[in-house]
Amino acid sequence: MYAGVPTMVDAMLAGTRVTAEWVGPRPAAGDVADVELGIDEALKWGHSIAVDDDQLTLREGPRLRGTVEMQKQDLLTIRIAEGLAEVEVDDPSIDVRHGTAVALVVGPVKLYPTGT
């Protein structure tokens, strides 16, 4: 946890270390918490999201890997580890099928404790 406002924490998400804004009651150092992940940007194909085989063009930053569960226009639902993340993408004309492996560069990230 870092001093200041907003509260920033180091977290491990699906094996990837990220620094994220913590939105909720302050955790104690060493706490383990179930969280909901928030990404406040539309991901850009080829810049911040790509099919897993085609990551060479992705910007620098922490990368999460998952598989597509569903695409509905500009929203992708991605299974990351045991959870689901819904992300907005910049180009809904790119059709990605269920089960396709993707990589996404995340940041800034917000973590919301679920209380479970």
For the stretch 78-84, contacts whose Cβ atoms lie closer than 8 Å and that sit 24 or more positions apart, written own/partner, are 78/102, 78/104, 80/13, 80/14, 80/37, 81/13, 81/14, 81/15, 83/37
The DSSP string of 64-94 is EEEEEEEEETTEEEEEETTEEEEEEBS-TTS
Domains held by the chain: number: 1
Q: What is the pLDDT of residues 15-64, one digit of tens each?
A: 888 888 999 888 777 888 888 888 888 899 999 999 987 877 898 888 88
Amino acid at 78: I
> Is residue 47 one of the residues assigned to a domain?
yes
Enter the pTM of the model: 0.78
- Mean pLDDT, the chain, rounded, equals 86
Specify the pLDDT at position 67. 95
**Domain region containing 17:** 8-113
> Is residue 41 one of the residues assigned to a domain?
yes
> Is residue 42 one of the residues assigned to a domain?
yes
Q: How far is Cα 32 from Cα 101, in angstroms, rounded to an integer?
A: 27
Q: Please, which pLDDT band fits residue 77 given cuts at 50, 70 and 90?
A: very high
